[in-house]
Amino acid sequence: MIKSYWQNYINGSYVDGGAGRMVVDNPADGSQLAEVALANARDVDAAVAAARAAHEQGYLRKLRPVERGRIVRKMGDYLLEHKERFADILTLESGKPYWEAVIEIEGSARYFEYYGNQAETVEGKSIPLGDAYFDFTTYEPLGISAQIIPWNYPVEMTARGVAAALATGNACVVKSPEQDPLALSLLGEAAEAAGLPKGQLNILCGTGIEAGAALAGHPDIDQIVFTGSVGTGIAVAKAAASHVTPAVLELGGKSAAIVMPDADIDNLVESVRWGIFFNAGQVCSAMSRLILHKDIHDETVEKITALADSLSVGPGTERREFGANMGAMVSEVQRDRAENMVAEAAQQGATIATGGHKLNRPGWFLEPTIVTDVTPDMTIAREEVFGPVLSVLKCDDVESGISIANDSEYGLVGGIFTQDVDKANKAAQQIRAGQVFINEWFAGGVETPFGGFGKSGYGREKGREALWNYVQTKNIAYRLR
Ligand code: ADP
């Protein structure tokens, strides 16, 4: 049992929302899980004002960075100490298996550890101007970082942005996603346990159209980080541009793995398992297209079909241990959309090798799905499904594989599976994406920069690169004589 009503966290207090309440449902059976306070534009104003006051008061930004880093790391420690509680709630509201929720909470803690450790590495430089001057640069926090969070990894996406923002001395206003805002709101507890002053981190839930838009277009924020769909990303970027507010956008993907005949197919199958069935495929950087060399096409399809069929699909609360299983999708809308896209692919001539249907039970479940005979012109090869649906295409050689992979308006990640270093290098250089995986999908970590080419967005999150999203350079020049 979880509490039935969850409030917003503004200026260190838990408060109701000006827009009333909204129901959060349980994707595993469609029942009502809890209600959440819905913020309106006035609540957004209050949160931004609280963040501004905290920033002006300056406790965090004036600290020696090592101390600031320790506070940020303590937030991660709090998550680990309360891992089971966070994961229980996240499982209930998102539909993911419990063991995946645990991975998300551990991943969130890792962001606080990583960016806490980075706090004292943000250093300026001295620029020689001859002996009449002494010139140096410093990095100042931007001020108020607004973070609009998607529903697929609500806690982890918040941790990713907030950890870097706080480590560099900013104050934050977080707009949580409507579908699963509950576990994320517990980060307010982590902030208090770590000793953040009130107003330094504010968390509110509200609709995108009201609270999200009010935050993105707020004249008093200094930066915005958005993760979500392309259409919403464009709206956020336009709203930010009206106040010349810098934005980081992490949008969708239609990422492809290319497989050559010399690849280790069992290893590839393992990557397919994580690449498209982890979080029921609701991952921006999912392996949503698989481009198989014609010589190993049939054998590989047989193996990945067997993999999809081996996954037991059901309530996340019953899936406690890591294993061959998958949970519900986040909402009926998302599930039905994915199911319809598979049906449309079949109408356009693709073959459904396995899956494609919702489960005959309450809750938002979709079978793990493999669609073969997909050609690059089909909708399913071009548009993001954001579900457990893998599109399989065929290529003749590495060149044609790369050109199919690049035939997309997105460019988030990509990959190649081969033992041939020359082919791997060629693909690494020619795939248009912010991150290329060779022989393991999702190879990398919190330390490696992540972000897209093309309509997948701009700016980079994760790694040290993301620190520069949260600071601005100031050059100081002394005339000595
Ligand atoms: P989805 O359609 O999959 O829910 P979105 O990209 O629309 O994905 O949502 C991601 C986040 O953006 C959510 O927190 C949502 O509330 C928010 N959002 C939606 N519309 C807007 C908007 N017009 N302005 C700002 N934020 C928005």
DSSP string across 32-85: EEEEEEPP-HHHHHHHHHHHHHHHHH-HHHHS-HHHHHHHHHHHHHHHHHTHHH
Atom 7 of ligand 1 has which residue's CA nearest to it? Answer: 232
**Distance, CA of 291 to CA of 384 (rounded, Å):** 16
Q: What percent of the chain has pLDDT over 70?
A: 100
pLDDT of amino acid 118: 98
Atom 26 of ligand 1 has which residue's CA nearest to it? Answer: 212
Note if 104 is an active site residue: no
Per-residue pLDDT of 330-362, as tens digits, reads: 999 999 999 999 999 999 999 999 999 999 999
Tell me, in angstroms, the distance from the centre of ligand 1 to residue 110's CA.
26
**Distance, CA of 124 to CA of 99 (rounded, Å):** 42
Nearest atom (ligand 1) to Cα of 228: 6
Per-residue pLDDT of 28-38, as tens digits, reads: 999 999 999 99
pLDDT of amino acid 137: 98
Cβ contact 300:292 at 8 Å:
yes
Residues in contact with ligand 1 (CB, 6 Å cut-off): 148-150, 175, 177-178, 208-209, 212-213, 216, 228-229, 232, 235-236
Atom 14 of ligand 1 has which residue's CA nearest to it? Answer: 177
Tell me, in angstroms, the distance from the centre of ligand 1 to residue 72's CA.
27
Does position 311 have pLDDT exceeding 90, yes or no?
yes
Tell me, in angstroms, the distance from the centre of ligand 1 to residue 212's CA.
7
**Distance, CA of 12 to CA of 87 (rounded, Å):** 24
346 vs 291, 350, 385, CA distance in Å? 18, 5, 14
Atom 18 of ligand 1 has which residue's CA nearest to it? Answer: 208
Token pair 């493999």 is at which residue?
370
Nearest atom (ligand 1) to Cα of 207: 16
In sequence order, what E strands does 152-240 have?
171-176, 201-205, 223-227
DSSP result, 423-476: HHHHHHHHS-SSEEEESSTT---TTS-B--SGGGEES-BSTGGGGGGSEEEEEE
Atom 27 of ligand 1 has which residue's CA nearest to it? Answer: 208
Per-residue pLDDT of 54-111, as tens digits, reads: 999 999 999 999 999 999 999 999 999 999 999 999 999 999 999 999 999 999 999 9
Nearest of 476, 274, 277 to residue 388 by alpha carbon: 277
> For residue 323, with 0-12 CB atoms within 10 Å meaning exposed, 13-18 middle and 19 or more buried, which class applies?
exposed
pLDDT of amino acid 1: 79
Domains and CATH numbers, the chain: 5-251+457-476 (3.40.605.10), 255-443 (3.40.309.10)
- Which of 38, 94, 148 maximizes ligand 1 atoms within 8 Å of its Cβ, making it the mutation to test the pocket? 148
Note if 172 is an active site residue: no
Catalytic choice (113, 284, 339, 367): 284
222 vs 79, 122, 204, CA distance in Å? 28, 19, 18
Nearest atom (ligand 1) to Cα of 216: 25
Task: Report the chain's mean pLDDT, rounded to a whole number.
Answer: 98
pLDDT of amino acid 217: 98
Nearest atom (ligand 1) to Cα of 233: 6
Per-residue pLDDT of 171-188, as tens digits, reads: 999 999 999 999 999 999
Radius of gyration of the chain (CA): 23
Nearest atom (ligand 1) to Cα of 334: 3
**Distance, CA of 111 to CA of 134 (rounded, Å):** 37
Cβ contact 183:34 at 8 Å:
no
**Distance, CA of 43 to CA of 18 (rounded, Å):** 7
Does position 322 have pLDDT exceeding 90, yes or no?
yes
Token pair 């980075």 is at which residue?
118
